[in-house]
Structure 1
């Protein structure tokens, strides 16, 4: 007995949001493959689950430069995302591309790990190679003095406008740059999320955020995915990914990942479900 296509598609839509599940399902038969790689299905799958997080890049020298997300066998192989050159530092990830800069800040490198495409861009001649002593700068902003300087990140608001995520103590504050009825423009506080109310943190055992001798705060923003409202938080119990809309959270790394992370998603990765499963493309699963 063959199930109707509409019923098959409904089942496929509720597969776990990871590339490997789509790959395996697409290999069952040619008909399933044609349904899964169809752009209409992929758009519906992405709208329901968001973009799959493949992993995070870091500039740390103490941990791997790329940490795949998920558990085997449902995660990509770290070797597929090895940096072209270890002397390059990551500046950011967007739309499936990684922006890298060399240690002298003379060259900028745009790299797509999925298809291997690379583009080298020469920096403007007036860039001072001594800028920041060759190190990638951390996020910084001035919204208010009790916020750790690395705990402020630029992000989009729900309306697509300029916003900020600022973490003070255990409170994540979401700000928006708005103009009021009188034409005055400034930062407006939209939401306060009390992280210690839902994250599994043993607050009594954490160092006091008011202790000036503390080297780093008990909770840190490591990075975020703007389009999916996904923020990565460091705690002494591990690194959590928190969806700001649903407030669902998941521990993604047990390791002490305290450096800034650059989450990698790819809007086209779902379309590789059939291609990767048949031996094409660069991405392999562990």
Structure 2
């Protein structure tokens, strides 16, 4: 009998066990994926329950984490879920355990499954993992709150130290000098690997800005909104008598300042930093006017001579997209999810999420309290058992 006529030999349990983790690794990064897989059979449950597998699952999907929801950025830290059941994370699942005497805590932003929170009363920042509840408290480095700075003018960002490192993290704190002389921005970096803050990194601040700004008579400060990570740099908005963008290059450990072609804050306008379209590593922003409901997506381009300039890449007619009544809606951009390219807008009819690539939108329930700033929580939940899903 020819060899080809023999039936194939069944795979050995060892071969199946080697192949199964690779299959499970490719499940979608939805919160319900691994809990559901663990219910299939004992063998699947054993693989999913392995801490090493869960770590690889998080790393495999790190570049496309789902948008689980938004945290209120005004101090309450209430969580607003964005997914539907069975992937919806109940708000009570993410509850920060505060120490007595912490007082009001203000979130500065989240990234890579971690939330950065400032505790003004203690002059500390808190790195919080909402899934595990783990907390790391860091004293704000001495000197960051001198020369007119105080805790209200400090902003920052948290990120994992490296793509394959799920244990260590970095914190970058920034502030802008409020004085009229020796005007500068300053940054300081903490590494959990060394357990120490580095030295201060500074850059001068210009003395001019858009005269039409609501804040032009105030000293320059780093706006309370979260940072955007684009390429190897973090970016924050600067407001006051200079309006622009503060850039911190993570690789070169350098600060830089760039102007913007529009007034960041003027009556009836909204401004939100985001990654440039296409994900090529550059920074962009969305500028919107309530007078005509047109949102412009700008990006930073560099020509052949190395000269950088801002260009409008796209305009979105929000009145047509959302069926707005002319002059009847006051729209505010209150949040942005950098990995999913989603903006969160506050309108009279509720909160709307708009996916800027597909232009699909979804309405969310309006929070009970007024919200002026929200921080997106984009992360891969890699638990082996079902948690609070409704």
TM-score surpassing 0.5?
yes
Residue of structure 1 in register with 2:119 after alignment:
102
- Output one character per residue of 1:54-101: Cα deviation in whole Å (capped at 9) or x when no partner: 22111336x762223335664223223112336211000111000000
Change (3 A) 1:178 1:113: same
Deviation (angstroms), 1:239: 0.9
More strand by share: 2
- Provide the aligned C-alpha RMSD in A: 3.7
SS of residue paired to 1:134:
helix
Deviation (angstroms), 1:202: 3.1
Residue of structure 2 in register with 1:56 after alignment:
70
Q: 2:81 touches 2:91 (CA, 8 Å); kept in 1?
A: yes
Q: 1:92 touches 1:99 (CA, 8 Å); kept in 2?
A: yes
Q: 1:171 aligns with which of 274, 294, 299?
A: 294
More divergent stretch after superposition (221-230 vs 125-134)? 125-134
Give the Cα–Cα distance (whole angstroms) in 2 for the partners of residues 171 and 151 of structure 1.
11
- Output one character per residue of 1:13-45: Cα deviation in whole Å (capped at 9) or x when no partner: 6x8x74135423431323554787867995899
Residue of structure 2 in register with 1:259 after alignment:
372
Give the Cα–Cα distance (whole angstroms) in 2 for the partners of residues 258 and 195 of structure 1.
21
- Output one character per residue of 1:229-275: Cα deviation in whole Å (capped at 9) or x when no partner: 111111111111111111111112234754210011214x1x32x2x
Give the Cα–Cα distance (whole angstroms) in 1 for the partners of residues 264 and 336 of structure 2.
21
Give the Cα–Cα distance (whole angstroms) in 1 for the partners of residues 296 and 309 of structure 2.
15
2:29 aligned with 1:20:
no
If asked which structure has higher relative contact order (CA below 8 Å, sep 6+), I would say 1
Q: 1:65 aligns with which of 49, 53, 78?
A: 78
Q: 2:326 aligns with which of 204, 218, 223?
A: 204
2:360 aligned with 1:248:
yes
Change (3 A) 1:100 1:81: same
Give the Cα–Cα distance (whole angstroms) in 2 for the partners of residues 23 and 198 of structure 1.
37
Which sections of structure 2, spanning at least 5 residues, go unmatched?
A: 1-18, 156-222, 226-236, 238-243, 245-259
More helix by share: 1
Residue of structure 1 in register with 2:169 after alignment:
none
More divergent stretch after superposition (87-96 vs 152-161)? 152-161
